[in-house]
Structure 1
Amino acid sequence: MLISAPVSACTIFAVTPGASEDGSMYVGHTNDGVGFDWRNYDDISLIYIPAADHATGDKRPIAFDPNSGSDAAGNKAQGNSETILGYIDQVPHTYAYYTASYGMMNEHQLLSGECTDYAKIQLGAEEGKRIFYSSELSNIALERCTTARGAVELVGELIESYGYYGTGETLIFADPKEAWVIEMCSNPEGTGGLWVAEKIPDGEVFVEGNEFRIREIVPNDPDMLYATDLFRIVEENGMWSPADGTLDWLEATSYGEYSHPYYSLMRVWSIQNRLAPSLELSPYVEDSYTEAYPFTIKPDEKVNLTTAFSLYRDHYEGTEFDLTTGVAAGPFGNPYRYLGPSDAHTDFQNETFIEVRPGANPRPVSAVFCAYSYVAQARADLPDPVGGVLWFGPAVAYETVYAPMYAGAENVSVPYATGDREVYDPESAYWTFDFVTNWAMLRYDAMIVDIQQKQSELESESIEAVKVTDAQAVELIQAGDEAGARQLLTTFTVERGDTIIDEWQALSGMLVVKYSNGLITDPTNENVEESGYPAWWSQEADYQYGPRVYALDQLRDTDGLNFTGQTVWVPKNASFEDILSII
């Protein structure tokens, strides 16, 4: 089965309890891709999978994931998610969990996040031989596991037993106390698969953006796991030799970044630099195999929930890569760029060559093609149904609102579970938020102020409401009424989601009225402002050579005029030379 479908190009992080302000575990994921997933759902919708009991002898089907190939713009999937590649034995009981393209959080506070990586060996799916991609692996882990290490061990076992196809992939698994990273790719021998896993030290933060981050593989390290025949396979297939020294997972299995230089590393640098400026990390590196950015960092200040949200709201503001500045951002600081051939998510380097393209825009953390993002939270001091909260944000991360969804809830707000990229539906959560992002591009510098004010208001309200709901649910559980607690958590999850959608739709209407037709209309007092363009843009756009005198041809032949924004009065009979001497 050929692989040429668009897939996720995501940014993920994990904040361990020792690195967070209140001892929470956080796992973040942006799903920056398009297409249909293993359930034949568009990847913009959120799905709640209930817990289930299964009879002896039941089998669990493994669906083909059409998003398992290269993320080349415009490509369509070969095959579809209705294709069943094989079956594995079902377990007696599977846990409830939230999923979309990938599993997010289950009812036992097991969290997960995913990102795609470039690997040297990317084999296609084959029934009975290579049946697993990371999407089904993440979901099965949430169906069956309660701990991060248990999830890693299960995923590794499934890869070796049933084979792995598609792109290189990374999954984070975290429980309330421990977090692990597992990275995987196809086996050049055609069966099984290659994988390694490393524990994230408590008190540290891990970040990844579409490039393997695990490096040296140390045998017998208790904080490291890997495929049974890893060393033999990479040596016999010429991917590594003991003479090279310690096995470097990244160098052995990947050429590093894909698409273009800094596509991955700039995001890693940005998040690490924002959390730990004391490290004075340089944004510049020698190549994809750089060791300039450590596997994990200790943040200068402990991370709270609001800070965790902010990690995804980044266009490199305040740095030399700031996408809100310069001619490309237009007159109003639009940070989003139309993707072109040089931005395509295709391989640009191999063993001996590197493709130097005409140029590419920096790839921001908050990408305009984002389907959804989330920050999943686990809290060891609370019962599982209460301690796990999925903070889910549809569409583009910078302009979304993260809505709380409890691990113990048994339903979600309807707008979050519906939607299709090919059909505009203003009632769906995705289109509710995506509309605001696209409308904001007309006058981003002004509209983002309104957006952030409402965003902060809603998220602050949610954080306070969660504290109240936590206490109520815990009280019910301690009284022996877990069913009542789950009902409370479900009602809160659904109603809070509904409220956020209603509030954002109201914001959408206000923004349309306030910023229509290039004007700024105050919706309360109806004052209208004709703000025009900033002076620097008028200069760049040759505004000063426009029709302001009748000697227009002579004006256009004049070089070196600087726009000052000032007007002057001259006699009607003044010559062009007289006017020119003044302006």
Structure 2
Amino acid sequence: MFRTIRSFTLPLLFLFLLAAAGEACTTILVTKGASADGSVLVSHSDDNDLMDQRIIYVPAQNHAPGAVREIFCTAAAMGEFPEYNTFSYPRMVTSKRGPGYDIPGPATIPLGTIPQVPETFAYFDGSYGIMNERQLMFGECTNGAKVSPGPEPGKRIMYSAELSRIALERCTTAREAIRLIGALIEEYGLYATGETLPVADTEEGWILEMAPSPEGTGGLWVAKKVPDGEIFVGANQFRIREVDPDDPDMMFSENLHAVAQKHGWWKPEDGKLDWLKTVSLGEYNHPYYSLRRVWRVLSLAAPSKNFSPWVKDGYTKDYPFSVKPDRKLTVRDVMGLHRDHYEGTEFDLTKGTAAGPFGYPDRFYGPYDGAGDVGDPKRKLEGAWERPLSVTYCGYVFVNQARGWLPDAIGGRMWLGLDKPSDTVFLPFHAGVTRLPRSVEVCDTTKFSRESAWWTFNFLANYAGLKYSYMHGEIAVLQEQLETGFLNALETVERKALDLYRTNPSGARAYLTDFAERNTAETLEQWHDLTDRLIVKYNDGLLTEGERSASPWATPRNG
């Protein structure tokens, strides 16, 4: 949908862009009974390329008795906090989380500290924690909440980013992680926005949702297990509804009902507390900004359910918490979900006037788009673009796999796609690696760098917009070739790693690390080659291929 409204000044437009793109993610959880190979899958698209796009390996560490763990503010929550040396880039500067964060710049100032544990696990880190060496993994999406206070030392020092990292440092199971995070919220206070965190291990997956408390301290949270054999999707809106105290597959903060009743958010005579209605104003950003994506994932996974894309409002119950897919999903199926632009539906962004002659699916934020929480009764919205799963401002996307039948070092896999899902390739990294390639850990989005894997993918994704239906087709061919090749190669790689692991676990980890280094370098080389070829082939809107001279070739191609 699109309607013209009055223009805004550039500074206000930039603030709108920050609000809209800065809190815009999609996250999916596939239980082991719903996956084709019996693994548990958790995915997350971090849809904000204004932020730090480095994926950092945080090593396992030992800590002396009496040590403390610093809690840092994050720009991913509410913007930059110069008073704490917290910026969009780098997300933190500290010598205490491994070499990836020990970089030049003013040291990030902690909001506070908590007692440290003797030993912490290694993990992959981004804007939020991703996966640790014990196959514990997180996804994330930001949600609107009724209150969104800023950080305040001594009252509110926790946000989901640091909470997920602490859990990855200390926990091995989803249940353990939820209990730890809940306790930290209640003791140290939660600031910023509402949050949804899928958290899973090799056996089960849970959805943990949290919101700041109107009390100004502590916080509110609830967690619900995704039934085995089903999948979950979250897209910038709370997805847990009735909180049932008698349900063994639910957990929640002890003060949830008391605080909600005290502030008039819920009454006992209303029946079971509806989490979404209690702590939020409904759908985030604009109508269908969240629910259209929920519909799309559910309708692709379970077309037999005939879910309608049209619902009454953001509080609808037409889309269940989770659904059994018509067929079990592979890891590449989940990648495909994140690459979607509603192709083949009435909302297809590759069609229509706005897509241009070459079916370009991306839409850029402007004054016609929503920003903030759609539930605000004072807010007027006169138009917005459809919001697909794959967006041009995506910073990175991953699909994590936990496979309990293998040792943790081999069973855990992070499939990482840098830049927007539709035009990148997902690179595999095992949970047992001892480092990540430098090209993955280097990225400043304000400075182009040929050292950076992110810039490699971002450049071609942007260049392809010149003649998208043609160039994307060639990108998709290489995606298929590479990702299928990775899966085939991993069968051999993991057999060798398993043989090594039986007698030499550290040798197996070194082998997997070397594979990741070589595979990433070879993939980037092929991506550079494709970029160079497409620059020449489609130069100036013409066609140059093989021995042929440049010639006009402006006929649009569908598909």
TM-score scaled to structure 1, two decimals?
0.87
Q: Does 1:50 align with 2:96?
A: no
Give 3-state SS (helix, strand or coil) of 2:75's partner.
coil
Contact 2:220 2:253 in 1 (8 A): yes
Deviation track 1:495-539 (CA, whole Å, cap 9, x = no partner) reads 1111111111111111101111001221x3335441224499xxx
Contact 2:23 2:236 in 1 (8 A): no
Note the 1:87-236 alignment, pairs <5 A: 87-236=113-262
Note the 1:487-498 alignment, pairs <5 A: 487-498=510-521
Select 1:390's aligned residue among 409, 414, 418: 414
Q: Distance in 2 between matches of 1:35 and 1:274?
A: 30
Q: Distance in 1 between matches of 2:480 and 2:381?
A: 40
Q: Does 1:243 align with 2:243?
A: no
Offset, 1:356:
4.1
Give 3-state SS (helix, strand or coil) of 1:486's partner.
helix
Letter in 1 for 2:44: H
Q: Does 1:500 align with 2:523?
A: yes
Q: Does 1:31 align with 2:46?
A: yes
Letter in 1 for 2:548: E
Corresponding residue for residue 543 of structure 1: none
Letter in 1 for 2:316: T
Corresponding residue for residue 521 of structure 1: 544
Contact 2:370 2:383 in 1 (8 A): no
Deviation track 1:244-301 (CA, whole Å, cap 9, x = no partner) reads 1210000000012222100000000001100100000000010000111100010001
Give 3-state SS (helix, strand or coil) of 1:251's partner.
helix
Select 1:427's aligned residue among 447, 451, 462: 451
Offset, 1:115:
0.6
Q: Distance in 2 between matches of 1:521 and 1:496?
A: 30
Note the 1:102-501 alignment, pairs <5 A: 102-350=128-376, 353=377, 355-478=379-502, 480-501=503-524
Deviation track 1:81-131 (CA, whole Å, cap 9, x = no partner) reads 223111000000000000011111100011111110000011111001100
Deviation track 1:26-76 (CA, whole Å, cap 9, x = no partner) reads 10000001445xxxxx2x11100010000110000000112212xxxxx75
Contact 2:335 2:399 in 1 (8 A): yes
Corresponding residue for residue 561 of structure 1: none
Q: Does 1:18 align with 2:33?
A: yes
Letter in 2 for 1:28: S
Offset, 1:466:
1.2
Q: Distance in 2 between matches of 1:534 and 1:129?
A: 58
Count of matched residue pairs? 518
Deviation track 1:535-581 (CA, whole Å, cap 9, x = no partner) reads 99xxxxxxxxxxxxxxxxxxxxxxxxxxxxxxxxxxxxxxxxxxxxx
Contact 1:109 1:388 in 2 (8 A): yes
Q: Distance in 2 between matches of 1:379 and 1:347?
A: 38
Contact 1:47 1:417 in 2 (8 A): yes
Corresponding residue for residue 554 of structure 2: 532
Offset, 1:195:
0.3
Give 3-state SS (helix, strand or coil) of 1:364's partner.
coil
Offset, 1:149:
0.8
Offset, 1:467:
1.1
Contact 2:144 2:372 in 1 (8 A): no
Letter in 2 for 1:412: L
Corresponding residue for residue 547 of structure 1: none
Contact 1:34 1:371 in 2 (8 A): yes
Determine what percentage of the aligned residue pairs are the same residue: 47
Q: Distance in 2 between matches of 1:487 and 1:76?
A: 38
Q: Distance in 2 between matches of 1:78 and 1:289?
A: 37
Over 3 Å counting, the alpha-carbon distance change for 1:356 and 1:344 in structure 2 is closer
Contact 1:60 1:87 in 2 (8 A): yes
Q: Distance in 1 between matches of 2:381 and 2:555?
A: 33
Corresponding residue for residue 552 of structure 1: none
Offset, 1:443:
0.4
Offset, 1:8:
3.5
Deviation track 1:362-387 (CA, whole Å, cap 9, x = no partner) reads 01100110000000011111000000
Which structure has the bigger radius of gyration?
A: 1
Q: Distance in 1 between matches of 2:304 and 2:74?
A: 42
Q: Distance in 1 between matches of 2:371 and 2:131?
A: 28
TM-score scaled to structure 2, two decimals?
0.90
Q: Distance in 1 between matches of 2:335 and 2:322?
A: 19
Over 3 Å counting, the alpha-carbon distance change for 1:236 and 1:313 in structure 2 is same
Offset, 1:77:
5.0
Contact 1:125 1:166 in 2 (8 A): yes
Corresponding residue for residue 72 of structure 2: 63
Deviation track 1:127-182 (CA, whole Å, cap 9, x = no partner) reads 01100000000101100000011111111010001000001011111101111110
Over 3 Å counting, the alpha-carbon distance change for 1:78 and 1:320 in structure 2 is farther
Contact 1:337 1:361 in 2 (8 A): yes
Give 3-state SS (helix, strand or coil) of 1:469's partner.
helix
Q: Distance in 2 between matches of 1:380 and 1:287?
A: 40
My pick for the range that moved more, 53-62 or 304-313, is: 304-313
Letter in 2 for 1:13: I
Deviation track 1:309-364 (CA, whole Å, cap 9, x = no partner) reads 101010000000000000000111000112102324322323xx264422111011
Give 3-state SS (helix, strand or coil) of 1:311's partner.
helix
Contact 1:314 1:366 in 2 (8 A): yes
Q: Distance in 2 between matches of 1:212 and 1:230?
A: 15
Give 3-state SS (helix, strand or coil) of 1:377's partner.
strand
Q: Distance in 2 between matches of 1:78 and 1:282?
A: 45
Letter in 2 for 1:255: L
Unmatched tracts of structure 1, length 5 or more:
37-41, 70-74, 537-583
Q: Distance in 2 between matches of 1:414 and 1:535?
A: 38
Over 3 Å counting, the alpha-carbon distance change for 1:505 and 1:534 in structure 2 is closer
Over 3 Å counting, the alpha-carbon distance change for 1:418 and 1:106 in structure 2 is same
More relative contact order, 1 or 2 (CA 8 Å, 6+ apart): 2
Contact 1:369 1:396 in 2 (8 A): yes
Unmatched tracts of structure 2, length 5 or more:
1-14, 87-107
Corresponding residue for residue 563 of structure 1: none
Letter in 1 for 2:234: E
Corresponding residue for residue 580 of structure 1: none
Letter in 1 for 2:440: Y
